[in-house]
Amino acid sequence: MAIKTVICIGMAGSGKTTFMQRLNSHLHAAKEPPYVINLDPAVLRVPYGANIDIRDSVKYKKVMENYNLGPNGSIVTSLNLFSTKIDQVIKLVENKRDKYEHCIIDTPGQIECFVWSASGSIITESFASTFPTVIAYIVDTPRNSSPSTFMSNMLYACSILYKTKLPMIVVFNKTDVCKADFARKWMTDFEAFQEALREDQELNGESGMGSGYMGSLVNSMSLMLEEFYSQLDMVGVSSYTGEGFDDFLNAVDNKVVEYESYYKAERERILKEKEEREKAEKEKSLEHLMKDLGIKEKVGLEKTSNDDADVLSDLEEGENDGIILRDEEEGIDREYTFAGDERLTGEINSRDTPDLQRRYEEALQKVAKSASSETAENIAKYIRQ
């Protein structure tokens, strides 16, 4: 059975690590202990036991010192270093598929360091291509009681959804402080959100061109996100009391079914298209190479009367007025080979320069030796005369 993978993403201060701790203890209480991975290299202590911890592989402070980086740059670099071994991480998780049902992953609080970095994409793609993967976007409920702040968070969630292309659950955390009923209402009732936005503007005494523009923008955004809300599961939880975690696990099960029925098929289609595109580019590159080498039988070119005299300009003349579209302009990076010389059967590039230089020197010495011996023979003949 495949392990259900939950990647926890959220703004700094949203309660992500506490959510991870409560989810871990909740699953342990249900006799279903999860496989836990920590990807935050800068955290001092985590309130849960991690099966895989990035801090065991990468030392955050050493990265800062060695590369002269700041905090965020060091987090990104640490994730880059860790992502080079992601195949080993996936293999470790795969070996535990019979023992664990869930794999939960904690990410750095600096959300942009993970979501918008190359390493974050590599890690997410690696898990998503191997296991049913769900994104849990953690939201600080008390801080999102303002309509404008709520809309900003939803836009960020929307960008993450389209960046990862994975099923997403919006988790409104800290419901023991502030209930998340208002958020559910705003996500399902456009008019209720408009009314809340007007009340917020009146309460704060906002007026004038700026506030009117912002109100119009937020209204437009809420209307645009209506379709986005329909693709989301919204859950309210309290990491402090443990309330709502059964609902969260039910939402994960629903999203796993959605992953299998829709996202997995879509990902396979995208990968197939990418493979076909790369295959077409390789065939096009090979065709250009065979044209350069004068191999016409395989590329359908007409033979000329003198095959040995064919040059590139002769083959292309009249076809496109001698203007050759170079491989560099097509984004194809390949190294050319030389044909007709048995000694040069490999690729000729900068790595072969010493070998070619040696051949040139040997040939030069051979010519010089031959010339000197011929000169000596001529001098001896002259003396004999």
CATH number of the domain encompassing residue 8? 3.40.50.300
| Residue of 14, 63, 1, 3 lying closest to 37 (CA atoms) | 3
Residue 37 lies in a domain: yes
Sorted by sequence, the CB contacts under 8 Å of residue 288 that are 6+ apart come out as 327, 332
Please list the rounded mean pLDDT of every run of 10 residues in the chain (385 residues). Answer: 89 91 94 94 90 92 91 92 92 91 92 89 92 94 89 89 90 93 88 84 58 71 80 90 94 90 80 86 83 60 44 40 36 36 41 56 65 56 52
> Residue 2 CB: number of other CB atoms within 10 A?
15
pLDDT at 231: 78
DSSP state of 143: G
Which pLDDT does position 223 carry in this prediction?
77
Instruction: Establish if 379 belongs to a structural domain.
Output: no
Cβ proximity of 71 and 112 under 8 Å: no
Tokens linked to 323: 């203007």
Dihedral sign for Cα 110, 112, 113, 114, please: positive
Distance CA 72, CA 69 (A): 8
On whether residue 38 sits in a domain, the answer given is yes
- On whether the pTM is more than 0.75, the answer is no
Q: Per-residue DSSP letters for 149-171?
A: HHHHHHHHHHHHHHHHTS-EEEE
Is 364 part of any domain?
no
Residue 371 falls inside a structural domain: no
Please state, as a whole number, how many other Cβ atoms lie within 10 Å of the Cβ of residue 139: 24
- Report if residue 363 sits inside a domain: no
- In this structure, is residue 81 part of a structural domain? yes
State the pLDDT at residue 1. Answer: 62
Q: Which domain holds residue 120?
A: 4-205+216-253
Residue 53 lies in a domain: yes
DSSP 292-355: HHT--TTTTPPPPS-GGG--HHHHHTTTSTT----GGGGT-----B--S-TT--SB-SGGGHHH
Place of tokens 């991480």: 89
Report the b/e string of 193-206 with b at 16+ CB within 10 A.
bbebbeebbeeeee
Cβ–Cβ contacts within 10 Å for residue 372, how many? Answer: 10
* Domains of the chain: total: 1
Element (H or E) spanning 23, and its range?
A: helix 16-29
